[in-house]
């Protein structure tokens, strides 16, 4: 994309966010626009353009202060939810189902659990994304209602016929690991236990799609060793609340001001330990985005997206 076209697109996104009351997101886009303007050496009226954008940022600061002093933010409108689904979905998808999955995860990250669950349940019909959709459904239940709701959901799937045996086994292993990290013991039934052991290997061979769906391992938590700031040299562990491919979403409590301030967008994380149900490995990541959650049970907390860049 030509740099001037990119600038125009960023300004349009900022205006969309501003019109929907997504103030922090609009500010971030306007700041991106300023950076783009500064990178264009021979742009006419560069200073006046920067001033115009800066004025918009200042106006948003005033609006933000009024909002923060006002009453609790209501549930987002359908239009605003659609905006989140379309614009906050990650841009790496190559097919419609994966893009729909990422849009649903984006809704969940912003606390729109009812809409996210509707979208994710619809994706269970899609073979390619079924397992990942199921895992994110369980994460929605854990975030909005608690462990019992997630366990009940798994039990419903176990007694149904939607999942193949190895698909449900992947979901079961994932849920048990997440629950264990929360200190909840759950002996979840497995479809593989009901199959003749001599046939189990054949079942896995006949249904290879789980391997396709899990291009990236399930990451249930990560440990970040900071190389700067007040936590320099220390590893801090975070639960992974949602995952889509190589993108991990962390929900950080508003009480953790120190960590929220430390994790800046585009920050490189060179020493990261990834924990999955089957392995622990080291790698690197980058902070893709940091957004304040404005509605739902996590209102006021921050969603931080970490993109895995190497393992």
pLDDT for 118 equals: 92
* pLDDT mean over 168-197: 81
* Percent of the chain residues past pLDDT 70, beyond the cut: 76
Cβ atoms of residues 150 and 138 within 8 Å:
yes
Cβ atoms of residues 285 and 308 within 8 Å:
yes
Work out the angle at residue 170's Cα, subtended by the Cα atoms of residues 169 and 172, and round it to the nearest 5 degrees: 60
Token pair for residue 21? 């009351």
pLDDT for 199 equals: 42
Higher pLDDT, 186 or 15: 186
Give the DSSP H/E element, type plus range, for residue 160. Answer: none
Residue 197's domain comprises 78-213
Judge whether residue 137 has pLDDT over 90: yes
Distance in angstroms (rounded) separating the CA atoms of residues 84 and 82: 5
* Cα 168 from chain centre: 22
Distance in angstroms (rounded) separating the CA atoms of residues 211 and 214: 5
* Final residue in a domain of this structure, among 49, 69, 89: 69
Distance in angstroms (rounded) separating the CA atoms of residues 180 and 56: 47
Query: pTM above 0.75?
Result: no
Do 137 and 177 lie in one domain? The reply is: yes
Higher pLDDT, 13 or 238: 238
* Final residue in a domain of this structure, among 189, 213, 237: 213
Burial grade of 49 (CB within 10 A; 0-12, 13-18, 19 or more): middle
Question: Which band of pLDDT confidence, cut at 50, 70 and 90, is reported for residue 64?
Answer: low
Which stretches does DSSP call E strand in 114-240?
221-225, 235-239
Do 173 and 285 lie in one domain? The reply is: no
Question: Which band of pLDDT confidence, cut at 50, 70 and 90, is reported for residue 149?
Answer: very high
Q: Specify whether the backbone of 218 is left (phi greater than 0), alpha (psi in -120 to 50) or beta.
A: beta
Question: Which band of pLDDT confidence, cut at 50, 70 and 90, is reported for residue 124?
Answer: very high
Distance in angstroms (rounded) separating the CA atoms of residues 89 and 31: 20
Do 187 and 268 lie in one domain? The reply is: no
Question: Which band of pLDDT confidence, cut at 50, 70 and 90, is reported for residue 2?
Answer: low
User: What torsion do the CA atoms of 229, 234, 239, 245 make, to the nearest 10 degrees?
Assistant: 80
User: What's the domain count of the chain?
Assistant: 3
* pLDDT mean over 230-245: 87
Do 105 and 207 lie in one domain? The reply is: yes
Distance in angstroms (rounded) separating the CA atoms of residues 249 and 238: 10
Nearest to 14 by CA among 4, 24, 26: 26
| Residue 72 per-residue DSSP state | P
Token pair for residue 86? 């379309």
pLDDT for 285 equals: 93
Do 108 and 88 lie in one domain? The reply is: yes
Judge whether residue 92 has pLDDT over 60: no
Question: Which band of pLDDT confidence, cut at 50, 70 and 90, is reported for residue 50?
Answer: confident
Do 49 and 87 lie in one domain? The reply is: no
Do 17 and 103 lie in one domain? The reply is: no
Mean pLDDT of the chain: 78
Judge whether residue 123 has pLDDT over 90: yes
Do 22 and 44 lie in one domain? The reply is: yes
Do 249 and 282 lie in one domain? The reply is: yes
Distance in angstroms (rounded) separating the CA atoms of residues 141 and 160: 19
Question: Which band of pLDDT confidence, cut at 50, 70 and 90, is reported for residue 225?
Answer: very high
Q: Specify whether the backbone of 207 is left (phi greater than 0), alpha (psi in -120 to 50) or beta.
A: beta
Cβ atoms of residues 20 and 79 within 8 Å:
yes
Most confident of 10-14, 122-126, 241-245: 122-126
Nearest to 252 by CA among 276, 287, 278: 287
CATH of the domain at 38: 1.20.58
Cβ atoms of residues 127 and 139 within 8 Å:
no
| Residue position matching structure tokens 């990119």 | 6
Do 116 and 195 lie in one domain? The reply is: yes
Work out the angle at residue 76's Cα, subtended by the Cα atoms of residues 75 and 79, and round it to the nearest 5 degrees: 150
CATH of the domain at 98: 1.25.40
């Amino acid at each position: 994309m030509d740099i001037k076209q990119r600038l125009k697109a960023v300004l349009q996104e900022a205006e969309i966010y501003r019109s929907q009351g997504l103030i922090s997101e609009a500010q971030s886009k306007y700041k991106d626009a300023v950076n783009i303007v500064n990178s264009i050496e021979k742009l006419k009226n560069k200073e006046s353009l920067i001033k115009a954008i800066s004025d918009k940022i200042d106006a948003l600061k005033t609006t933000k202060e009024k909002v923060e002093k006002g009453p609790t933010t209501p549930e987002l409108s359908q239009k605003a939810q659609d905006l989140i689904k379309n614009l906050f979905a990650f841009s790496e998808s190559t097919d419609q189902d994966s893009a729909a999955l990422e849009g649903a995860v984006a809704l969940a990250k912003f606390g729109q659990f009812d809409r996210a669950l509707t979208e994710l349940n619809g994706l269970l019909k899609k073979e390619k994304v079924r397992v990942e959709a199921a895992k994110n459904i369980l994460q929605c239940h854990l975030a909005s209602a608690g462990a019992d709701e997630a366990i009940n959901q798994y039990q419903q799937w176990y007694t149904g016929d939607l999942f193949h045996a190895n698909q449900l086994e992947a979901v079961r292993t994932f849920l048990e690991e997440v629950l264990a990290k929360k200190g909840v013991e759950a002996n979840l039934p497995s479809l593989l236990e009901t199959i003749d052991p001599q046939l189990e290997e054949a079942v896995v061979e006949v249904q290879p799609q789980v391997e396709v769906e899990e291009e990236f391992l399930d990451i249930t938590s990560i440990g970040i060793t900071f190389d700067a700031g007040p936590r320099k040299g220390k590893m801090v562990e975070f639960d992974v609340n949602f995952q889509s491919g190589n993108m991990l979403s962390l929900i950080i409590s508003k009480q953790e001001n120190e960590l929220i301030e430390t994790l800046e967008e585009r920050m490189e994380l060179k020493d990261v330990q990834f924990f999955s149900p089957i392995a622990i490995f080291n790698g690197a990541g980058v902070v893709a985005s940091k957004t304040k959650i404005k509605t739902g049970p996590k209102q006021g907390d921050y969603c931080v997206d970490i993109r895995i860049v190497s393992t």
